[in-house]
């Protein structure tokens, strides 16, 4: 396990799916965690559970598309734990639809959460890390940035934009001691994925089994698979990994087009 003990980490979208797995893993590994999301009850319960186990975890209720919320969450991390060593910019939303069915409300939601949220997080986290002379920001992107998934046009575009953001930040700010990395999950068993199955003719379990058969490792990913990779990327063990995207898709990208 990569060493995050004593590190202060902010996780956005930290109370469900991948974010929840990261919150639990990092806190139980000795990190001082601030977990942020718009799921107030779930966030309070998660933080209370981890504190009850003797770990450092604080929940902040906030929306990553709201600059004041992002700023306040970062200030909370610094005020509570004295510094900000790492950020997992993980908050995201998904809408399955063809571009011809897109509404402006859908557009603004996906771009505001998936892209603007990452931008605002970096805007306020980078100055803290610059003062420290060290830090790491990891983004959650998606294989939808690389594969033309049906009815994922805007989602895929928003995630591809996050990759471009990450690489530009690397050239701008890594000379000041800050690393920028990303994880690109494939099909991961999360509540967001389950919600995307609503309205299909077959139950979720049947759909999941069919998908698993198509993945070379013959299973879907679990949130903990991603959390372990993020923990490594945020740690000093990954100190020479910078401006890179780690694919976590069980071999999906290796599949031939037939």
76-125 pLDDT per residue, tens = 999 999 999 999 999 999 988 899 999 999 999 999 999 999 999 999 99
Q: Rounded to an integer, what distance in angstroms lies between the CA atom of residue 92 and that of residue 64?
A: 9
Task: Measure the CA–CA gap between 232 and 111, rounded to whole angstroms.
Answer: 28
Question: Above 90 in pLDDT, residue 228?
Answer: yes
For residue 85, the 8-state DSSP code is -
Q: Specify the pLDDT at position 60.
A: 98
Domain map of the chain by residue range?
A: 8-186+222-248, 189-220
CA atoms within 13 A on the CB side of 38: 11
Which pLDDT score, from 0 to 100, does residue 197 have?
A: 66
Contact 26, 4 (CB under 8 A): yes
CB atoms near residue 171 (< 10 Å):
10
Query: Phi and psi at residue 222, in whole multiples of 5°?
Result: -110, 155
Position 200 scores a pLDDT of 66
Beta-strand runs (E) in the chain = 8-12, 32-37, 56-61, 86-89, 135-140, 178-185, 244-248
Which one of the listed residues 60, 61, 155, 208 is annotated catalytic?
155
Q: 194: pLDDT confidence band, cut at 50, 70 and 90?
A: confident
- Token digits of residue 227: 């959390």
CATH code reported for the domain at 8-186+222-248: 3.40.50.720
pLDDT at 1 over 60: no
pLDDT for position 192: 75
Q: Does 60 participate in catalysis according to the annotation?
A: no
Query: Reading across the β-sheet that carries 178-185, which strands appear in turn?
Result: 56-61, 32-37, 8-12, 86-89, 135-140, 178-185, 244-248
Between 125 and 208, name the one with better pLDDT: 125
Number of C-alpha atoms within 13 angstroms, CB side, residue 91?
30
Round to whole Å and give the CA distance between 48 and 36. 14
pLDDT digits (tens, 9 = 90+) for 132-148: 999 999 999 999 999 98
Q: How much is the average pLDDT of 162-177?
A: 98
Q: Which helix (H) or strand (E) holds 8?
A: strand 8-12
Instruction: Record the pTM.
Output: 0.94
């Amino acid at each position: 396990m990569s060493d995050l003990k004593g590190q202060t980490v902010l996780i956005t979208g930290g109370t469900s799916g991948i974010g929840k797995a990261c919150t639990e893993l990092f806190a139980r590994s000795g990190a001082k965690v601030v977990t942020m999301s718009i799921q107030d009850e779930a966030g309070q319960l998660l933080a209370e559970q981890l504190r009850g186990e003797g770990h450092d975890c604080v929940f902040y209720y906030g929306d990553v598309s709201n600059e004041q919320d992002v700023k306040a969450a970062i200030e909370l991390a610094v005020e509570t734990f004295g510094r900000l060593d790492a950020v997992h910019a993980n908050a995201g939303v998904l809408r399955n639809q063809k571009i011809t069915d897109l509404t402006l409300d859908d557009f603004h939601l996906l771009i505001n959460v998936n892209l603007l949220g990452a931008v605002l997080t970096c805007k306020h986290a980078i100055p803290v890390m610059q003062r420290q002379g060290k830090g790491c920001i990891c983004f959650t992107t998606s294989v939808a940035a690389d594969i033309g998934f049906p009815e994922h046009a805007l989602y895929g575009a928003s995630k591809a934009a996050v990759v471009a953001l990450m690489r530009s930040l690397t050239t701008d700010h890594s000379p000041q001691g800050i690393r920028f990395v990303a994880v690109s999950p494939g099909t991961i068993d999360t509540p967001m994925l389950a919600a995307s199955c609503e309205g299909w003719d077959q139950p979720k379990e049947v759909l999941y089994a069919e998908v698993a058969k198509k993945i070379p490792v013959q299973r879907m990913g679990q949130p903990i698979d991603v959390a372990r990779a993020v923990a490594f990327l945020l740690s000093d063990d990954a100190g020479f990994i910078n401006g890179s995207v780690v694919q976590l898709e069980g071999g999906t990208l290796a599949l031939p087009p037939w």
